Every structure is written in structure tokens, then in C-alpha cells.
């Protein structure tokens, strides 16, 4: 059992500013929802921090578990009011999911999710079908995440499991914070499907394919590969942003959004949230701030 002294020795520092952590870093892999905005409005301090990092010569790649291609997310950011000068490029879970869904070209795929995610399938050669005709399921979320929960999908998922349909999960997030509300994401449905014995292929954080895409995009932008020790991941999701960065060999900073922290950030809270020192951020912040 870990002693109190050992706990103190490995305590995750809570910092008010990311300026010191930006030194020696060439690239930020920054989560969007929960770090840059809350689904309704941008976080001004986060946008300023990204802008200042870019002005100092850094590159900001927004790495999102959104189940839509990057171009669609850029439009969404414009609509919310995130300034274009706060970021360089975007890579999404939707981008990574296209390779998984494309493997079903020529077959019927049921799209489990809202219509706003349909751009995911452009040019993939799959036929979007009704549930009963499907050879596979592509899950991008709940049909109406404002009022529904995974329990509403229990009969549908049970039918898919009985038919042994493979599922592609285009957003591994379980929940996100929209304004002041917590809503369910595709990852919650995929988790429920796995509990029924269903087979799921995940795109996005914490899985490595999306990090491979991100690093390839960084290399394209910079004209050369960037060592991972010069990259910093920033996110509010423990099982996605922090765990994914650890798996990819990249340091991370935890942002305490309402997804995991509801009553203030403290050392005791961090010790509870991060019991495994191998899956821990190098620092934590209440909000991203320069």
C-alpha cells in the first residue's frame, strides 16, 4: 500500500498558468469540448492561451472525439465563436472512424446517431440502412442526447448483440458537459453494447489510431516529425485524454471540467482521480490559462 510520504512525493501539481509547462514544447494536442468550449460558448482564457502559444512559435492541433470530419468541426467552432487564430489544425475521432467504417464498403450500415454526423460517411461506399437490414452498426451518439440515456437503447442493442453485428464507435467519450448539463455520448452506448457481448471497434481517444493521425498531421504542418517529449496533450477526459496521451507516450495536463470535478480542484481530488502513476498528468488546472 502506498504510504502518505509516497503520495505526497508523486502529487500532481495544481497550477494557475500553463506558461511554464509550455517551455520546451513545440506542439499542443488540445481537446476541444471541455477545454476550448462547453458546447455553447468558448472559454476565453483557453483561446487566449492557445493564441499566445502559437505567437511564441508553437503549433496547436485540436484533437477531438467528435464523430464528424475535421472540416465540420471547424464550422462548429466558428459558430460557437472560437477564434480561428487560436488553432492551426484539427483531427477528430470521426476522421479516424472513417477507416473503420470504410471496411464495410458495399455493405449495409446502420447509423446510430443524429443526422448532424452524416458527413462521416461521405465517399465511403457504404449503404446506410434500417436496423433490420444492417450488416454493421456505426455509432456516433444518441439520436437525442438532450433527453435520452443509454437505457432507452437497451432493446435495440440487445437485438444487435443477438445478431452479432460489429459496431464502430466514432466517439469513445462516455459523457460531455454541454453548458451546465452532462450528456451521454457514443462511448456510453458502445460500453452498454460490449456489456451485452457485442464487438466494438473504437476510433478516437484513448486509442492509438487517432494519435497516429494527429502526429502525421503535425509532421505535415512542421515539415518534420516532432519528438513526443516536445508535445503536450491537454484535456479534461481521464479515460480519453489522459489515458490516451499516456498510451501514446505524451505528457498531459488535466483540465478540471464538470465531467470529473464538480466541487473544486484539490490535491485529494487528484489523488482519487489518478490512483495509477502511469496514467497521470504532469499537472492539473481548473481551466486552461496562460
102 and 194 in one domain? yes
Say yes or no: 102 and 198 in one domain.
yes
Same domain as 84, residue 213: yes
Does residue 206 have a cis peptide bond before it, meaning omega lies within 30 degrees of 0?
yes
Q: What is the pLDDT of residues 21-60, one digit of tens each?
A: 999 999 999 999 899 998 889 999 999 999 999 999 999 9
User: CA 261, CA 269: separation in Å to the nearest integer?
Assistant: 8
- In the numeric block, the cell 517529449 is attached to 229
Per-residue confidence at 6, pLDDT binned at 50, 70, 90?
Answer: very low
For residue 261, give its domain range: 4-94+206-285
Domain termination site, one of 153, 171, 202: 202
Judgement on whether residues 87 and 231 belong to the same structural domain of the protein: yes
Determine what percent of the chain is predicted with pLDDT higher than 70. 94
Residue that terminates a domain, selected from 184, 202, 220: 202
Q: Cα dist. 77→66, 171, 182, 183 in Å?
A: 12, 18, 20, 19
Could you tell me if residue 174 is inside a domain?
yes
pLDDT reported for residue 184: 94
Residue 213 included in any domain: yes
Task: Write down the pLDDT at residue 9.
Answer: 46
List, for residues 237-279, the tens digit of each pLDDT value: 999 999 999 999 999 999 987 566 666 788 988 998 999 999 9
Phi, psi torsion values for 180, nearest 5 degrees: -105, 10
Predicted confidence (pLDDT) at residue 233 exceeds the cutoff of 80: yes
Q: Which CATH number characterizes residue 266's domain?
A: 3.40.50.1000
Q: Report how far residue 260's alpha carbon sits from residue 142's, in angstroms, rounded to the nearest whole number.
A: 21
Share of the chain above pLDDT 90, in %: 84
Residue 1 or 146, more confident: 146
Q: Is residue 121, in this structure, part of any structural domain at all?
A: yes
Which candidate, 183, 192, 242, 220, places its Cα nearest to that of 91?
Answer: 220
Is there a single domain that holds both residue 88 and residue 215? yes
* Residue 130 pLDDT grade (very low, low, confident, very high; cuts 50, 70, 90): very high
pLDDT band at 4 (very low <50, low <70, confident <90, very high): very low
The residue-averaged pLDDT of 86-100 equals 96
In a domain, 290, yes or no: no
Mark whether 103 and 195 lie in a shared domain.
yes
Average pLDDT over the chain, rounded to an integer:
93
- Do 264 and 174 lie in one domain? The reply is no
pLDDT (0 to 100) of residue 176: 78
Q: Mean per-residue pLDDT for 189-217?
A: 96
**Residue after which a domain boundary falls, among 176, 202, 228:** 202
- What is residue 5's predicted lDDT score, i.e. its pLDDT? 41
Please report the pLDDT score of residue 259 as a whole number: 62
Cβ contact 149:99 at 8 Å: no
Q: Is residue 245 included in any domain, yes or no? A: yes
Q: Is residue 62 a part of any domain in this protein?
A: yes
Mean pLDDT of the 176-202 span: 91
Shared domain for 46 and 101, answered yes or no, is no
- Do 239 and 261 reside in the same domain of the chain? yes
Whether residue 133 is found in the same domain as residue 255: no
* Within-domain flag for 197: yes
1 closest CA partner among 270, 275, 266:
275
Is 7's pLDDT higher than 70? Answer: no
Average pLDDT over residues 90-114: 96
Number of domains making up the chain: 2
Same domain, 90 and 104: no
Is residue 258 in some structural domain?
yes
Same-domain pairing of 43 and 28: yes
Amino acid at each position: 500500500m502506498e504510504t502518505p510520504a509516497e503520495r505526497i512525493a508523486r502529487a500532481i501539481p495544481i497550477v494557475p498558468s500553463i506558461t511554464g509547462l509550455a517551455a520546451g514544447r513545440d506542439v499542443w494536442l488540445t481537446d476541444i469540448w471541455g477545454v476550448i468550449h462547453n458546447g455553447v460558448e468558448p472559454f476565453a482564457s483557453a483561446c487566449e492561451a492557445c493564441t499566445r502559444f502559437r505567437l511564441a512559435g508553437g503549433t496547436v492541433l485540436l484533437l477531438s472525439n467528435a464523430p464528424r470530419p475535421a472540416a465540420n468541426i471547424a464550422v462548429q467552432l466558428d459558430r460557437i465563436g472560437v477564434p480561428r487564430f487560436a488553432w492551426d489544425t484539427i483531427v477528430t475521432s470521426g476522421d479516424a472512424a472513417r477507416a473503420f467504417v470504410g471496411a464495410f464498403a458495399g455493405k449495409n450500415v446502420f447509423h446510430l446517431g443524429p443526422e448532424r454526423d452524416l458527413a462521416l460517411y461521405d465517399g465511403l461506399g457504404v449503404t446506410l440502412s434500417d436496423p433490420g437490414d444492417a450488416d454493421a452498426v456505426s455509432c456516433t451518439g444518441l439520436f437525442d442526447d438532450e433527453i435520452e440515456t443509454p437505457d432507452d437503447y437497451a432493446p435495440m442493442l440487445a437485438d444487435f448483440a443477438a445478431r452479432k453485428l460489429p459496431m464502430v464507435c466514432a466517439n469513445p467519450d462516455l459523457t460531455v458537459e454541454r453548458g451546465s448539463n452532462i450528456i451521454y455520448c457514443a462511448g456510453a452506448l458502445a460500453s452498454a453494447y460490449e456489456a451485452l457481448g457485442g464487438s466494438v471497434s473504437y476510433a478516437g481517444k484513448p486509442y492509438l489510431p487517432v494519435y497516429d493521425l494527429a502526429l502525421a498531421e503535425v509532421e505535415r504542418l512542421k515539415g518534420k516529425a516532432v519528438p513526443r517529449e516536445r508535445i503536450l496533450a491537454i484535456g479534461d477526459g481521464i479515460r480519453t485524454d489522459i489515458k490516451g496521451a499516456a498510451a501514446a507516450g505524451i505528457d498531459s495536463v488535466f483540465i478540471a471540467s464538470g465531467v470529473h470535478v464538480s466541487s473544486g480542484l484539490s490535491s485529494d481530488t487528484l489523488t482519487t482521480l489518478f490512483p495509477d502513476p502511469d496514467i497521470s498528468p504532469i499537472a492539473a488546472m481548473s481551466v486552461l490559462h496562460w
